[in-house]
Amino acid sequence: MTAQVEEIRLNLPHVELAAHLYGPEDGQPVIALHGWLDNANSFARLAPLLPGLRIVALDFAGHGHSAHRAPGASYLLWDNVADVLQVAEQLGWARFSLLGHSMGAIVSVLLAGAMPEKVERLALIDGLMPYTGEAEQAPAKLAEALRAQSALAGKRKPVYADIERAVEARMRSAGSISREAAELLAERGLMPVPGGYTWRSDSRLTLPSPLRLTRAHALAFARAVQCPSLLVLAEQGLLHTEPKFAGVVEDLAFDVRRLPGRHHLHLDDEAGAQAVADCFNPFFAVP
């Protein structure tokens, strides 16, 4: 938590992204990707415990201090994949590793599966594959997404009278987190507005997906990963409680470690962050 961190901006052709930069200039290049509606502070505890890595912890578009996508643009998973690739190109990294939590882990697997020549190592925290849907569900899913998009203009973000109320709301959301973790995410994720505070995140991020990959699609990406891959699963995390993922992990060529903790085990407390770091440090140290 006391390690030096630098705030940087990355100007992509279509959107400006914010990021935290950790580690020595000559460290192993790593792009760290946070979960849905989180931000770069997701790695505030973990990144300082990973010496020797040059970590760029992004705010995904529409999250944290990154810009929102242009009107009419989407927030589909593969849009994030394209952004990460452009970030690496801007940094001059022909090859790099990915450190991903939750949605960030999913984006990491999609990129590593699609472009294995780019990714050196894959370090994942309680995330692997997106929620999937089958062909017969597609018309209903698209209708749901179109209706939600039409209704979005009439909705307003919640405004909290003070930061404490926003923190408490974040603690109650999906993938419940500790107060300290919620405070770290709120530190970067809130902005002042008349009447109090609201989240910086783009409201379009809460829209349902117009199209989901099938289970076969999602598995194909995971099976196409060629680099060394380590997946840390939280014993009280989302993958542990999601029946759709039962048996999937065992069928993949990923090293899997199970640790006590919830979905944000790397952020909830220092002990959890250290336990995750103890898994990842030897993984990154292997030549």
| Nearest alpha carbon to residue 201 among 60, 95, 71, 78 | 60
Beta bridge partners of 32: 57, 99
Q: CB-based burial of residue 173 (10 Å sphere; 0-12 exposed, 13-18 middle, 19+ buried)?
A: exposed
Q: What are phi and psi of 72, to 5 degrees?
A: 90, -15
Residue 159 CB coordination number (10 Å): 14
At which residue do the structure tokens 């901006």 appear? 9
Fold for domain 6-133+214-285?
Rossmann fold (3.40.50)
Helix (H, G, I), strand (E, B) or coil at 286: coil
Residue 179 token pair? 């107060």
Task: Report the C-alpha gap between 275 and 34 in whole angstroms.
Answer: 18
Greatest CA separation for the chain: 54
Catalytic residue among 66, 102, 108, 201: 102
Q: What pLDDT was estimated at residue 243?
A: 65
Residues 6 or more apart in contact with residue 270 via CB below 8 angstroms: 1, 45
102 is catalytic: yes
The C-alpha angle 99, 87, 255, rounded to 5 degrees, equals 20
Angstrom distance (rounded) from CA 230 to CA 166 = 34
Residue-level pLDDT, tens digit, the chain, 287 residues: 456 899 999 999 999 999 999 999 999 999 999 999 999 999 999 999 999 999 999 999 999 999 999 998 989 999 999 999 999 999 999 999 999 999 999 999 999 999 999 999 999 999 999 989 999 999 999 999 999 999 998 888 999 999 999 999 999 886 689 999 999 999 999 999 999 999 999 999 999 999 999 999 999 999 999 999 999 999 998 877 666 676 788 788 899 999 999 999 999 999 999 999 999 999 999 77
The whole-number pLDDT of residue 1 equals 47
